[in-house]
Structure 1
Amino acid sequence: MVGLIWFVQVVHYPLFSRLTGDASIPFAVEHQRRTAWVVGLPMLTEGLTTLWLFFDPVNSRILPLLGVLVLLKIYLSTILLQIPLHKKLSNGHDKGVVRKLVATNWIRTIGWTTRAAIAIAIVA
């Protein structure tokens, strides 16, 4: 997820500000539909493997616990911030909403980057 979220943060979300007029609503709706297909299974797999590592740790339970906490923060950010902002964009283009989407998405970008570091530490 870390590679995907960096692409979204640096390229994809900032380009939302270039959308205008009637094209923005169908784009936002289609974006939500397609994104769900791309991230759904990887996020589910990540959640399950996170729980697995927590309940059956390789060594210590500290790194898996940190992974759980970071993933909870990512999921809460997705549910409470990004999804509602995307819903607003599906009702009409708003540059303020796009700016907020880019700004709040740093929570997930930093979170998934942190999780990558945790995963490397677990297997190292």
Structure 2
Amino acid sequence: MLIAAVVQAVATLLLAGVAWTVQAVVYPAFALVPAPAWPRYHAAHSRAVTLVVGPPWVAQGLATAALLLLAPGEPLSWAAAVLAAAGVAVTLPAVSLHARLDPAARPGDLRRLLRVNLVRALVWTAGSAVGVLAVLSAHG
């Protein structure tokens, strides 16, 4: 149980860190990309960010499932699962917004993306706290 809790906590902490970096740096910088460069820039961003978030998403999902299997009666396991599911649920609108994103043509989409990502960052921050508590609980 301890290994699953550690993997889940580390993955969620990483996802929270990425979400806050995206919120403060990456998405605001989208507005600075010249319109003719946008399609190429966005494609490169999408490829790179997938490599950054893909592995921790998989690790978080597997570790959360392991927590539910290994400690099904543990409230922290369920809290971690709910927050992981919420992270996925909040990411779906972000993916949809990304698919049509063009800051020069539709600046409102970038504002919506920032709002969705803020919720995602808050969910993963809460998930990180739950993950750390699960590690402490499993350890002691």
Match for 1:23: what amino acid?
A
The answer to whether residue 57 in structure 2 is matched with residue 40 in structure 1 is no
Aligned residue for 1:82?
94
Aligned residue for 1:104?
116
Match for 1:28: what amino acid?
H
Using the TM superposition, give the Cα deviation of residue 19 of structure 1 relative to its aligned residue in structure 2, in angstroms: 2.0
Segment of structure 1 superposing worse, 27-36 or 87-96? 87-96
Instruction: Indicate conservation of the 8 Å contact 2:103/2:110, yes or no.
Output: no
Structure 1 gaps of 5+ residues are none
The answer to whether residue 63 in structure 2 is matched with residue 49 in structure 1 is yes
Aligned residue for 1:29?
43
Instruction: Indicate conservation of the 8 Å contact 1:29/1:90, yes or no.
Output: no
RMSD: 1.9
The answer to whether residue 88 in structure 2 is matched with residue 72 in structure 1 is no
Q: What do the CA deviations read for 1:71-114 (whole angstroms, capped 9, x no partner)?
A: 111101112x1111111126975211111100111121011101
Report the TM-score, using the length of structure 1 for normalisation. 0.89
Distance 1:118 1:42, change over 3 A: same
From 132, 135, 138, the equivalent of 1:120 is 132
Segment of structure 1 superposing worse, 83-92 or 109-118? 83-92
Instruction: Indicate conservation of the 8 Å contact 1:85/1:101, yes or no.
Output: yes
Q: Identical aligned pairs, as a percentage?
A: 27
Using the TM superposition, give the Cα deviation of residue 116 of structure 1 relative to its aligned residue in structure 2, in angstroms: 0.7
User: After TM superposition, where is structure 1 displaced by more than 4 Å over at least 4 residues in a row?
Assistant: 90-93
Report the TM-score, using the length of structure 2 for normalisation. 0.79
Q: How many residues align?
A: 122
Aligned residue for 1:62?
75
Using the TM superposition, give the Cα deviation of residue 67 of structure 1 relative to its aligned residue in structure 2, in angstroms: 1.0
Give the secondary structure class of the aligned counterpart of 2:63. helix
